[in-house]
Amino acid sequence: MGLSKKTVRDINVQDKRVLVRCDFNVPLEGGEITDDRRITEALPTIQHLVQQGAVVVLASHLGRPKGVTPEFSLRPVAQRLSELLDKDVPLLGDSVGPEVTAAVHAAKPGDVLLLENVRFHAEEEKNDPEYAKQLAALADLYVNDAFGTAHRAHASTEGVAHLLPGAAGFLIEKEIQHLGQVTQDPPRPFVAIMGGAKVKDKIALIDNLLPKVDTLLIGGGMAYTFLKAQGHGIGNSLLDAASVEYAKSLLDEHGAKIVLPTDVVVASELSESAQTQVVPITGITDGMMGADIGPETIGTFRQHILGAGAVLWNGPVGVFEMTPFERGTRGVAEALAESKGVTIVGGGDSAAAVEKFGVADQMTHVSTGGGASLEFLEGKELPGIAALQDKA
């Protein structure tokens, strides 16, 4: 599935000021970037614009600041961009205002500047027309390459696109191409793996994907709601009680497609020092909770993954952040790495998992969008993309 919107290839940017919305919402520890993938994924668009002689003005948010919050400054991002582009990328003191305007107007073709965190202004998330107008006044053209925030109608992701001619960057084009392929015309057999905590968070995704997949593997906290729907005791495992009837109806209607765990790793607590035990799903006793899929289930999931033409993974199958419960998610990640099929990782915790287990570069595509990937896979229109110019 291709993108029906104009991309940076379709616009003449020479000697133009181009406002580029990126997603530089990177994890930080002690002011240091711990994972720069969202920055490196933006480089193809930035480098293309530089080579074509544009003045490149980058905009992004970082975290959830309340007003101007120094710990959420984009300074570490500016430093990393300077290293990666091998040129000075100055961080401006704000995202709008006279000093910002002066700096942008003084820049020469090929220069790259970074605006300070757009969420330092409350008007950003409110999609305030006046703030959008101030951002738009900085540039002649607009490029959205922030797939991770394309599901948000904010001033810098959607508002500006109604004020400047807007096109998609290469990252958005890549995301739509890969996520679109598996939802529209996947190689067969098409296997989806779904994990995460609650069924209710995935209902729209399940409803959109289930008619399209050949097999749906379910793990993570949400599996226990399905096991409960089958009549199993689940002890203290996570239960989405409001979704039990939904799970029951899915199993009645699509049971042949749905693969649930046959064994699980249980513990009395979630901690790094937890004492664990592998039990069949009929053996989860009171006081114990399931926190990972067991070895038999890992083997079953692995078989389905290795036999697939395409695999879509959304959500870890256990509490992989803790060593005692990481084996299932690691097993899924490693099976995807071995797969000869198309492997798509749907952002968020699944992306964090393939990074943690060192196999991200062996996937066909790892999405940079958590919520945006989810909404796209649910079949929803993303406002940040919808507002861009259509191809002729």
Q: Of these residues, 348, 369, 370, 384, which one is catalytic?
A: 348
Q: Of these residues, 5, 17, 21, 38, which one is catalytic?
A: 38
**Any catalytic annotation for residue 356?**
no
**What's the gap between Cα 345 and its chain centre?**
9
Instruction: Please identify which residue in the block is written with the tokens 């993974």.
Output: 313
Give every strand in the sheet of 289-293, ordered side by side. Answer: 277-280, 263-267, 289-293
Q: Is 95 helix (H, G, I), strand (E, B) or coil?
A: coil
Q: Are 332 and 307 in contact (CB under 8 A)?
A: no
Alpha helix positions (H), the chain: 37-40, 43-51, 75-85, 98-106, 129-136, 170-184, 203-209, 222-229, 244-254, 295-306, 327-338, 348-356, 371-377, 383-386
**Any catalytic annotation for residue 198?**
yes
Q: Of these residues, 37, 75, 133, 198, which one is catalytic?
A: 198
**Any catalytic annotation for residue 38?**
yes
Q: Is the dihedral of CA 178, 180, 186, 187 positive or negative?
A: negative
**Any catalytic annotation for residue 348?**
yes
Q: Is the dihedral of CA 152, 156, 157, 159 positive or negative?
A: positive
Q: Are 53 and 13 in contact (CB under 8 A)?
A: yes
Nearest to 125 by CA among 183, 168, 61, 179: 61
Residues with catalytic annotation? 38, 198, 348, 371
